[in-house]
Structure 1
Amino acid sequence: MSAWQRPTHAHVPGQNARHMEGAFDHIRASAQPGMTAADLAESDAFRHGLFYIDNGFYWEAHEVLEPIWMALPEGQDRRFLQALIQTANAFLKREMMRPGAARRLCGIARDLLPASREAWVMGIGAGRIHAMLDSLEGDLGSAL
């Protein structure tokens, strides 16, 4: 795996500058069509995407996770990746002060995740993502 690239800042549309064009291309390039789900789960793009979500870089997470989603065939792995992307988007909408959009995206993400919190997809427990959504929805509920 390449060295971790911590973004210079967490981009929030409408609040700060976007990253330079191509800033994440070298990370995105680690996810290629034809790779297996197991290989994609070991890619720099996947690992960086999770790191970015965990550390508040939600726009950046979407950027690096998208090529993985595009490379996966229809099925549970692809739905899981879409759930990760929608989870990042939900957190980003919270940062953009759009709680209604954040709530809607939480629902979309939950619909894409395995219902069982005990399920594992691409080496990640569904419970981990459900817990992130629980926390976000709790924050959004208290912000009414």
Structure 2
Amino acid sequence: MYPLAIDEHIFLRRIKKYSEEKFPRYRYVPGIHPHPMRDEEGHSFGIEENEIESWSVDEWKENQEYLYGVDLYNNHYYWESHEAWEGMWRAVKPHSKPHKFLQGLIKLSASILKIRMAKQVPMDIAGAQRLAKSGFELLEPVKTDGEIYMGIELKSHLNKMEKYLEPVMNGTIIEVDNEVPIIELELDE
């Protein structure tokens, strides 16, 4: 049997939840858990994906898909956060600021999942490095454009992420635990 979310005590956090959605019963890690959508035991098997046609950056506080992605990320559901944000990413103009922003968040989330996978398969650390580098590159122009974007103070968040990922960028496999910086949304923005 694979580990369920309630059994992964290392990942339990008491932090603000932004969305109204419930968390899946496990945090998907390829090679450990059943694929969430393709496997009959998957936590999202048979559930229709929400097709997002459009959304507005200005209405991020009401965007449950975005907020749920933040909640998933903050609670170590890295594959699931990627899935939550991907529909939004596909719905915006390619190479636009919101497109780069979401792609950057997706890649940073995927890099942390790869670090977790590297505990089983050490060569996955190279994938974590590539994803992190690409994520930072995508978010850099968004960061320089303003202090807060879609509720995230990007300069501060990226500084924390760079510090956390520094050993990974130097080839060290680190623990994925509650030291992973959370995304704190500025709701008063």
TM class by smaller structure = 0.7 to 0.9
Cα distance in 1, alignment partners of residues 63 and 127 from structure 2: 30
Structure with bigger gyration radius: 2
**Uncovered stretches (5+) of structure 1, i.e. residues with no partner:** none
State the 1:22 CA deviation: 4.3
* SS of match in other structure, 1:114: helix
- Deviation readout 1:32-79 (Å, 9 max, x if unpaired): 223222235531111111111111100000111101101122311110
Aligned residue type for 2:148: W
Identity rate of aligned residues, in percent? 24
Aligned-residue RMSD, C-alpha: 2.5
Q: Which amino acid aligns with 2:26?
A: H
Pick closer, same or farther for the CA change 1:59–1:24 going to 2, 3 Å: farther
Contact preservation (8 Å) 1:32, 1:67: yes
Residue of structure 2 in register with 1:4 after alignment: 21
Q: 1:125 to 1:101 in 2, by over 3 A?
A: same
Q: How does 1:62-101 map to 2 (within 5 A)?
A: 62-74=82-94, 75-97=96-118, 98-101=124-127
Unaligned runs of 5+ in 2: 1-17, 37-41, 119-123, 174-189
Q: What is the number of residues matched between the two proteins?
A: 140
The answer as to whether partners of 1:40 and 1:68 remain within 8 angstroms in 2 is no
The alpha carbon displacement at 1:105 in A equals 0.7
Letter in 1 for 2:93: P
User: Which residue, out of 101, 105, 110, partners 2:131?
Assistant: 105
**C-alpha distance 71-14 of structure 1, shift in aligned 2 (>3 A):** same
SS class of match (1:10)? coil
TM-score relative to the length of structure 2: 0.64
CA contact (8 A) 1:2 1:44 kept: yes
